[in-house]
Amino acid sequence: MANAKNMDLLNGSIWDKILKFAIPLAASSIFQQLFNSADVAVVGKFAGDAALAAVGANTFIINLMVNLFVGLSIGANVVVANALGERSARAVSRGVHTAIAVSVVCGILLSVVGIVFARSILSAISTPPDILDDAVLYFRIYFVGMPFIMLYNFCAAILRSKGDTKRPFYVLLVSGAINLVLNIIFVVGFHMDVDGVAIATVIANVLSSLAVLYFLMHEVGPFKFEFWKLRVTPFILSRIVKIGLPAGVQGALFSFSNVCIQSAINSLGSTAVAASAVAMNPELIVYFWLASFGHACVTFVGQNYGARNLERCRKVVRWTLFLSGLSTFTLGALTCIFYHPILSIFTNDESVIETGAYRVFIVIGLEFINVLIDVCSGALRGMGKSMLPTLICVFGICGVRISWVFFMFPKFGTFKALMLCYPISWLTAGTILVCVYMAFVRKTRIEWAKES
């Protein structure tokens, strides 16, 4: 099943392959985020702070709805990676076609829900009345493209399962540039508002999803996608759901806790909303860099666990923690040092920049703590244990953040105090996950020793 585009994750050195895997994946995620960042920058510069806040108010709620289904793509990644480790061509082919079928269904469902319930959803999180209409318009147009967002994420997950992260990066490099150009044309040239940047994002998502589907259609062997084979294999679907649904629930609950935080931010007024939206852009870039190592851990551990090589799984985790932790700390420090010119890309309002600086220092500056969560969660999911990290993160992340919003934030009532919930929740969940991962490895070693 090997070809020139496959990376051998089962043999040889580890650290360099993790970097070769993670860097293009990080770049892909960053360019995908730049779709929204371009929206924010163009709107903030040319349409005003009200439009900027309208786009920013969508961020957490869109992530909440999307993450539940994108989590299933992690299940597809693990299922296909395990099949590769087991050298089962039939399971690989069924995994590919089942995953793509699931992506289409999930995308259509999300699109319908988002368009129909946009106003109700945004009103429920206390979106300020002066930006509600624009926020609803952006939300509805964005969700028209949801089937293509789902298709891209599942196809990219399939490619990642065999170590191919470069081609999705090239796709997003091109589509990100197209998105930026269209943003400028629609907003500056045609004097459109949030509708212009939303339409540009949809077009870019359509192009990126069709490109990765094209790659799969021209694969050789079991990875080749053929429309006549498009069907759901119940056994494969059950494994994807078993692994992916807890990951999706975890992502959705993360986003739900962030929606609670966004609601608290909304209560502080439009300046705080705009400041949070502005600071979220470099924050997400740093996070996506970090998360790419977590995805690398899922894929590397998934293949090696399928091949029953536990020692190599442990080495993958150690290298991933080191590489991710060091690089994330460096990126966070650089962002804190250069926060003013970075935030100035998105707004000219000094009060927005100074408020956003609190999010930069507290959240981005301490983002390296989050490495423990992403890497250990990825390792456990690669070993097929997806429910454990979900339960831990529900308690350690969501529980801490929601409790902070309802019990601690009212005592202080400031943007700075609200941001403290992020590093506190990361430290809580990360400590527990490290302990659980180590216990599971010991248990697996003992079980496999008895079987041999």
Per-residue pLDDT, 134? 84
Is the pLDDT assigned to residue 91 strictly greater than 90? no
pLDDT band at 222 (very low <50, low <70, confident <90, very high): confident
Instruction: Choose the weakest-confidence range: 73-87, 210-224, 398-412, 428-442.
Output: 73-87
Mean pLDDT of 28-42: 67
pLDDT band at 174 (very low <50, low <70, confident <90, very high): confident
Which range scores top for mean pLDDT: 233-237, 254-258, 281-285, 353-357? 353-357
What are the structure tokens assigned to 256, written together? 């739900």
Exposure b/e, 124-144, CB count within 10 A at least 16 = b: ebebbeebbebbbbbbbbbbb
Is the pLDDT assigned to residue 347 strictly greater than 90? no
Per-residue pLDDT, 36? 60
> Closest Cα partner for 127 from 118, 135, 138?
135
Per-residue pLDDT, 133? 85
Per-residue pLDDT, 418? 93
Is the pLDDT assigned to residue 279 strictly greater than 80? yes
How far apart are the C-alpha atoms of 88 and 79, rounded to whole Å?
11
What are the structure tokens assigned to 175, written together? 């589509």
Per-residue pLDDT, 1? 43
pLDDT band at 4 (very low <50, low <70, confident <90, very high): very low
What's the pTM value of the predicted model, to 2 decimals?
A: 0.72
Choice between 255 and 328, residue whose per-residue pLDDT is larger: 328
Instruction: Choose the weakest-confidence range: 22-31, 45-54, 263-272.
Output: 45-54
Is the pLDDT assigned to residue 436 strictly greater than 90? yes
Per-residue pLDDT, 84? 79
Per-residue pLDDT, 243? 81
Mean pLDDT of the chain: 85
What are the structure tokens assigned to 123, written together? 């009103």
Mean pLDDT of 412-425: 92
Instruction: Choose the weakest-confidence range: 102-111, 337-346, 384-393, 429-438.
Output: 384-393
Are 320 and 375 within 8 A, CB to CB?
yes
Per-residue pLDDT, 435? 94
> Closest Cα partner for 213 from 50, 381, 70, 100?
100
pLDDT band at 3 (very low <50, low <70, confident <90, very high): very low
Instruction: Map residue 224 onto helix, strand or coil.
Output: coil
For the segment 121-140, what is each residue's pLDDT rounded down to a tens digit? Answer: 888 877 778 888 888 898 89
**Through-space distance between the first and last CA atoms of the chain, rounded to whole angstroms:** 27
Is the pLDDT assigned to residue 248 strictly greater than 80? no
Is the pLDDT assigned to residue 181 strictly greater than 70? yes
Per-residue pLDDT, 2? 41
